Amino acid sequence: MDKVDEKKYNVLHQWVQLNKIWPFELLFEDFPATRSKFYRDLIYNAEGSQGDTPLHVTVTIENRDIAMALIKDYQQEMKYSGMSTDDSPPWRIKNFVGHTPLHVALSHKNEQLPMHLTNLDSKLCMILSNEGHNPLYDGVLTRCGTVVEEILRAQHDFFRMLRSNDGTTVLHLLKHVPGAMPLHRAILRKDMLLAKVLLLDDDVERNIEDYRGRNSMALLDKLVKEDKD
């Protein structure tokens, strides 16, 4: 059970890479002693070049069912053993670059699993990577709009999340053409989720004109009128 492959992946990593759900179902139902080893020990092993746990690997293969099975089986094993899942659950474990499974999922533009993870554990939204980015940053960067909206909805103190530990904001991550501010670009793309986030930030400049002499509020007014027509 402790044998590893050339990547130093343990058997749980290897099962994840099979991309099949049946080994996990069989393990949990029929082998309680082995199950205990898997979900108290192997699930935390950070191996490979990135230091990924089995849950990190499930995200890279983008199989939500396997990720959900790992999480569910871990929770049930902790419940059966009378142990708490609150102290250091596997979904909060970072790899070598400081990415939790949530960070990794967002980097792969995988929105299904992040939606579950943000609802499962709100503390995940506050964990910073080695770059100083929280999941909200990464969600904006990869344009995972549904996840960004969910994080903002779930976090009452989200303004603090808009800033990285080096003082930069999500605005610094946004691509823009010369003469156009991020708010201009959001409105022109009709990305109203991002526009709402930017308008809620008092530091966002609304009156700077782009190279065509249009400020953000004029663009927004024009868009509203077009929608009414």
Residue 186 maps to which CATH number? 1.25.40
pLDDT tens-digit profile of 43-66? 887 777 788 888 888 888 777 788
In a domain, 195, yes or no: yes
In a domain, 180, yes or no: yes
Domains contained in the chain, number: 1
Query: For the ranges 104-118, 121-135, 170-184, which has the lowest average pLDDT?
Result: 170-184
What is the value of pTM for the model shown? 0.63
Task: Give the integer Cα–Cα distance in Å for 92 and 43.
Answer: 12
In a domain, 46, yes or no: no
Which backbone phi and psi does 47 adopt, to 5 degrees? -130, 180
**Span 33-50, average pLDDT:** 74
Domain ranges, residue 195: 174-229
In a domain, 182, yes or no: yes
Tokens of 136: 């909200």
Q: What is the pLDDT of residue 99?
A: 94
In a domain, 227, yes or no: yes
In a domain, 57, yes or no: no
